[in-house]
Structure 1
Amino acid sequence: MVSSRALTLNLAGLSALVSISLATPIEHANHFDLRPFSINLSRGVPRMLELIKDTKLPDKEEYPGVGSSAGIGLDVVKSLQREWTVDFDWHKEEAKLNKYHHYTADIENLSIHFIHEKSHDAEAIPLLLNHGWPGSFLEFLPVINNLTQKATTSTGKPISFHVIVPSMPGFAFSSAPPANWTVDDTARVFNTLMTKVLGYETFATFGTDFGAGPAYSLYDNFNSSTRAAHFAFLPFFPLPPDQLAAENITLSKLEQSEEQNFVTWSTTGNAYFSEQATKPNTIGLALQDNPIGQLAWMGEKFISWSDPKAGTAPSVLNHNQILLSTSLYYLTRSFLSSVYVYFQNPNGFKSVYTKAKTDAPLLFSAFQYNVAFWPQALVAKVGNLVMYNNHEFGGHFPGLDNPPALIQDLREIGNYWDRA
């Protein structure tokens, strides 16, 4: 019989609308209650659609002409609202999601959800991908299958991966953690997942947004098992232009544009950060049962943090993807618990740059329209930097913004894995 603890997904202890296969637990980790998992959230869809349809938005902009400077535009929300009720098909999307191999495992009294796609290559490297907010495991779906296939690095070395994509505690199908939970706790649980549940002695990891926190903690604190780390974000606050100048760091034209993106975000784009870091209950309770509210709150980030050419190749970040992501948050009732990651980690982004206690290789990928920027000299301060690539296309969600670039950069791990 499936335990109720394995189905607990949110702060209120509500049961998620999921089904868990009663098939025999896979591999050798029966004491972690490792089981295949199937997504079944259809029961919640009628209410979600009813709320979306019944939400009365203003007929016209109250203050026309301000554009995106005041946040997401009314016309954008109305367009997404219409698409959500007319064009978006959760049942179709759910069927696509269930084509991946999902599992849950009980670790430290939490039910941890993850995707595990194995390569047919016996020499494949286990790779743990860490998402942030308002992301989820969805942001890595465009890269999973390619990463499991045999390919070569830039120097011709063969490379493929066993890909593991967990949902962070409090996100989607993973249980909400205790109140004092930190990214270091998440790292410890994910290390257990990789080494004890799945049996990988060593692995590589990738992190972006708040997922950079557990990824860096794995790199720093679990360096016997984490033998390579790749980042598109760092758990260290970027430096403003005057501090970069004080460090004698000069920027190229591309880097100046990226630095300006950070300056803009830090002055007019980070109010959400302060709200979620100080009053998560206020925004969490306000939007927990409000799909259009969640769409406005999170959709604005997907749009403003991404490449202006989002939705055109190679980007796959279109309106359907935004609606899928918002639907996942709403249907799993995880919005409130997800924003708590900011409140639980007041020092999640450090102001003092320190070097990790490891000799494992560190790789970094910058994307022009990300909201934060770290030049190569800063990244080198926090680890054994062996690769730094800067891409002119893409933004904060590289797995959606520029999947081919992220795939190729991740494959470069193979150039350094034999030295790990």
Structure 2
Amino acid sequence: MDIQPFHIAISDSELDDLRQRLARTRLPAGIDNLGWREGTDSDFLKKLLSYWQHQFDWRKQEARLNQLPQFMAQIGEQQIHFIHQPGQGPNPMPLVLTHGWPGSFIEMAEIIPMLADPASYGGDAQDAFHVVVPSLPGYGFSSAPRTTGIGTQQTAALWAELMRALGYEQFAAQGGDIGAGVASWLARNYPQSLVGLHLNFIPGSYRPYLASDQPAVTEQEQSFLDQVAAWAASEGAYGHIQGTRPQSLAVGLNDSPAGLAAWISEKFQAWSDCHGNIESGIGLDALLTDISLYWFTQSIGSSFRMYVEGRAAPFSFARGERILPPLGVALFPAELPMPPRSWVERSYSVQRWTTMPRGGHFAALEYPADLAADIRAFFRPLRATS
């Protein structure tokens, strides 16, 4: 496998083009006082676009991200961008972290040093990890798949190959959103390599094996299924579009920074623990760094592929199938609908189930110290057996 160092270097011409497009933004007329009920709040969007055009400093963010050790790996036909931060401790455990949509590797920027060098953040050096953060295929600087069929299962195979190439025969996995699906497939298909997995979301398409010889669905489990159905009806239009007719949408978002900003910022506002105020919860700079990555890499369309592939291959189980490596789950209060422990235990080997005090869907970005502490706590007793 060919692995080369990587450095982010967006050209001045790309920055100029973005500013010119922002200056020519044509927003639709709207109804007053709608807020976020039907999409991105119009007043917020105007403020965000003005900040992006006149105040946001991409070069500052680029320099910050370039402090992370970044690489590009050629795995078959796929180029995978990744961060590889060696751990600072007596025996760091290899750990692969996987992001989701509409996030990116940028979500992990603050949590990486907390996991790699816990002693510098009030933790124990014994809990250190060698941290690997790849960008999903078609996200950020990872190349877009050239064929159909590259979903979470196939991505897990890429991650397993990458970790072996880095010299890690056994490793841990962590993920949320789409990353939870990738981490789960790693545990399912490579149990001999996985020390354990830690999730802050359960894959949306996960369905355990249910038949007459299995325990009946409990009242709590049925309540969760009803909640998922209600959420899909009121909030799930984006996923249906991205999974069925993504290319028509991608044309507009790839051409309009205003459209891209509206599409992505709505999800950060709705899915984070910001109490309706995205500026206090996420912050404009963090939000625009993520949006800018999608813009400069023109990856919004290719990022939708995971939704198409997810519909084609749901994360379901047949009779007798289970995930063997131990699982730890961190439940953040503002997360999307999460199942009860019993539903997860039907297919996973749950060993830790933690209710977190705060945070939402973007836990590594919102409260990285809280997530890092739970990851360290879960893997601590597993280090002796790895």
TM-score, reference length from structure 1: 0.82
Name which of 79, 88, 92 aligns with 1:111: 79
Contact 1:219–1:356 (CA under 8 A) maintained in structure 2:
no
| Letter paired with 1:272 | Y
| Letter paired with 2:301 | L
Q: How many Å separate the matches in 2 of 1:387 and 1:39?
A: 38
Corresponding residue pairs, total: 373
Cα distance 1:232–1:294, how it changes in 2: closer, same or farther (>3 A)?
same
Name which of 94, 113, 116 aligns with 1:126: 94
User: What's the CA shift string for 1:97-124, capped at 9, x where partnerless?
Assistant: 1000000110011111000000132410
Partner residue in 2 for 1:414: 380
The root-mean-square deviation of aligned C-alpha atoms, in Å, is: 2.7
User: What's the CA shift string for 1:34-88, capped at 9, x where partnerless?
Assistant: 1110000133111011111210224xx6222332221111011001011111221
Following superposition, the deviation at residue 149 of structure 1 comes to 1.4
Partner residue in 2 for 1:276: 242
Name which of 144, 148, 159 aligns with 1:179: 148
Partner residue in 2 for 1:6: none
Partner residue in 2 for 1:91: 59
Partner residue in 1 for 2:364: 399
Q: Does 1:50 align with 2:20?
A: yes
Q: How many Å separate the matches in 1 of 2:300 and 2:344?
A: 32
Cα distance 1:294–1:354, how it changes in 2: closer, same or farther (>3 A)?
farther
Q: How many Å separate the matches in 2 of 1:87 and 1:261?
A: 41
Q: How many Å separate the matches in 2 of 1:76 and 1:386?
A: 42
Contact 1:249–1:377 (CA under 8 A) maintained in structure 2:
no
Moved more, 200-209 or 301-310: 301-310
Contact 1:236–1:353 (CA under 8 A) maintained in structure 2:
no
Cα distance 1:377–1:368, how it changes in 2: closer, same or farther (>3 A)?
same
| Letter paired with 1:190 | W
Q: How many Å separate the matches in 2 of 1:229 and 1:94?
A: 31
Q: How many Å separate the matches in 2 of 1:297 and 1:354?
A: 40
List runs of 5+ in structure 2 lacking aligned partners.
Answer: 208-215
Cα distance 1:115–1:311, how it changes in 2: closer, same or farther (>3 A)?
farther
User: What's the CA shift string for 1:124-155, capped at 9, x where partnerless?
Assistant: 00010011111100111110001111459xx9
SS across alignment from 1:69:
coil
Q: How many Å separate the matches in 2 of 1:366 and 1:409?
A: 10
Contact 1:228–1:417 (CA under 8 A) maintained in structure 2:
no
* Percent of paired sites with the same residue: 33
Contact 2:317–2:347 (CA under 8 A) maintained in structure 1:
no
Cα distance 1:228–1:71, how it changes in 2: closer, same or farther (>3 A)?
same
Q: How many Å separate the matches in 2 of 1:353 and 1:366?
A: 26
Q: Does 1:297 align with 2:267?
A: no
Partner residue in 2 for 1:34: 3
Q: How many Å separate the matches in 1 of 2:100 and 2:69?
A: 21
Q: How many Å separate the matches in 1 of 2:205 and 2:195?
A: 24
Q: How many Å separate the matches in 1 of 2:239 and 2:313?
A: 12
Partner residue in 2 for 1:383: 348
List runs of 5+ in structure 1 lacking aligned partners.
Answer: 1-31, 240-245
Contact 1:213–1:348 (CA under 8 A) maintained in structure 2:
no
Partner residue in 2 for 1:12: none
Contact 2:281–2:366 (CA under 8 A) maintained in structure 1:
yes
Cα distance 1:77–1:116, how it changes in 2: closer, same or farther (>3 A)?
same
Moved more, 339-348 or 167-176: 339-348
SS across alignment from 2:36:
helix
Name which of 72, 75, 80 aligns with 2:43: 75
Contact 2:187–2:324 (CA under 8 A) maintained in structure 1:
no
Cα distance 1:124–1:407, how it changes in 2: closer, same or farther (>3 A)?
same
Q: How many Å separate the matches in 2 of 1:224 and 1:290?
A: 46
Q: How many Å separate the matches in 1 of 2:263 and 2:157?
A: 30
Name which of 273, 295, 299 aligns with 1:334: 299
Query: Aligned runs of 1:168-317 on 2, under 5 Å?
Result: 168-177=136-145, 178-195=147-164, 197-237=165-205, 247-250=217-220, 262=228, 265-309=231-275, 317=282
TM-score, reference length from structure 2: 0.89
Contact 1:364–1:387 (CA under 8 A) maintained in structure 2:
yes
